[in-house]
Structure 1
Amino acid sequence: MTSSAISASGLRKAFRDRTVLDGIDVEVRAGTVFSLLGPNGAGKTTMVNVLTTLMKADGGTVRVAGHDIETETKEVRALIGVTGQFAAVDELLTGHENLRLMADLHGLGSGESRRVRTELLERFDLADAARNQAATYSGGMRRKLDLAMTLVGGPRIIFLDEPTTGLDPRSRRTMWEIIRELVADGVTVFLTTQYLEEADQLADRIAVLDRGRLVAQGTPDDLKRQVPGTHVRLRFATAAELDAAARVFTGSTRDDEALALRVSGDGGTKSLRALLDRLDEYGISAEEFSVHTPDLDDVFLALTGHSTEAAE
């Protein structure tokens, strides 16, 4: 596979008079997690459907693992795996039978099928429940089984469309660990999510999709730096020290109840050193200090004007 796992240029898709994808350009490096953020209705699932050959684009070009999705559809499908928003398991079958079905569809021999099924059941901590019907599984177990079924064919690129929606915090973190393990094995993950913490925890790069357009791309830290609000919070032992610091740092915001001062800055070591040197110059001692930076919630709100949960 090339160093670029997914490359899209000028990607467009419309349904009647509604443009869902409006000239999308993305580049996803192999062996990384690329996260696509956006509110409900932003076009995330449509984009996944196009990239995975489930839907034809109206314009633009897309290459997956170096293969054109229009002219080399078979080659693309042989290299990818897709886990949708809802677990696509057969609830009348056991966990073991669901995996065997996928192995049969991939044409695995009996020995290889048995080996793959055993490894996946162990990896996803489903071995004890393998003989139980999937209908008896919890939501987290169904999502793990769904992802295990996706991995039967050994895909090198996996599309995860909101994989942790509806999961409890413990199950969500278990899924995060599984995703990290996949990437450590060299798998590329294209992740769509509404959970900003999830993208912050997992993604090497993030793209923000809003009303069919990409409004920002970059690493989580890159995006956070685009939003003002980074500051240093200083807390003092006495009101006199707070007063003195407030006179030194004009334009700062004080909290008299907490004896704290909020000083704007970029959060870098150079500006932090200058701040501490200035405190020392005036003989002011802070009990503690901490650097606060905007999170992805702040980024998303600044870029789109609404939260990720807001419907388009």
Structure 2
Amino acid sequence: MTTQVAARPAVNLKGLSQYGVYLAILLLVLYNIFFTPYFLTWSNLRIQLIQVAPIVIVALGMALVIGTEGIDLSVGSVMALAAALIPLYLGYGVVAAILASLVAGVVVGLINGVLVARVGLQPIVATLALFVGGRGLAVVISEGKLKDVRNPDLIYLGSGDLLGIPVLVWIAAALVVVVAFLVRRTVFGRRLLAIGGNRPATELAGLPVKRVLITVYVLCAVLASIAGLLSVARIQSSDASAVGLLIELSAITAVVVGGTPLTGGKVRVLGTVAGALLMQLVIATMIKHNLQPSTTEMVQAVIILIAVYVARERKTR
């Protein structure tokens, strides 16, 4: 009898952790349908999807890192670096500009991965250095100036439509599928989760822990650079001081709210997407109802605390 009573809250916490974000989205959508004018119009839905797409892309990489019990605070700076490099190489063609931004992501990811996996620094310390220095480098590269981007091929990635849906959303959806496949269907994904679950055990088992960790940080940085170049394509300008500013907080929030534990060992890809959508809906709803930005930030903080508390209690039980 005592065992049954003790087990019941654990099941409830498990359900809340796994499906609470979807319930919250449903309730928020219903609220907006009844109380927010023009919420169901395609123009409004299109804007929401376009705004959340870069956050989803960055959050996918963050989810991989958090799955290894790590963190990456440099994703916003990677976006800024990508934004700063695009105008420099756009004269050689859109392919050259895209490759330059992706290479920047690879380099930053390698630095982060090596510092974490081989040097042994804590992830928050290793990535904090590039959180500060990366954006400073981006501002230096761009000379602190906002530069217009007028290449039609690049602009199409950020503002064009395919089958009536923004290309930006198609790209984000494709990356969600790729990351989900990587986590669930590949040896690399299983090793990633094993490292997050019990790193000493994976090292004793002879798995290539350092190589996997470096790869994870490279993937996270590359995804951030993709988000950076898409942001430039959408706003048709490059501003290294503003692109990706504080997006690492939005990404971490999306991952945590989506049910991926900060203690690692698990990655919820669809939950991460749902977490990003939930936070976008919260912000959009408050803006539509003329609430102050400070109120939005406080609500976000409460949502994060609830998500972390539920995850912690579930693990404890």
Give the TM bin, normalised by the shorter chain: under 0.3
Bigger fraction of residues in strand? 1
Larger radius of gyration: 1
Bigger fraction of residues in helix? 2
